[in-house]
Amino acid sequence: MYVYTIQAMPGSKAKLDGDTSVKYQVRRKHTAAPATAKSSTVVIRTDMGYTEATALVERFNKKELESRAIKNKAAGLQK
């Protein structure tokens, strides 16, 4: 499963959550990776405004939950 988050671009510091004067990046982390494995966080979008980045994260996380529900339903039918 993937989890999507936003983070201020490297070299810039947001004074508060949602600071619109700073550009953000969207990151994806693979949560099913083994604990001993190297981190599997990937930057998927860069140089975005806060509103645009949060909307993208919400949309991706919603789609990920829908996908997980479909997989769980399919796995339940196979048993």
List pLDDT tens digits, range 39-48: 688 999 999 9
pTM of the model: 0.78
List pLDDT tens digits, range 9-24: 998 888 887 888 899 9
pLDDT at 5: 93
Domain-by-domain residue ranges, the chain? 2-78
Our separate counts of H helices and E strands in the chain read 1, 3
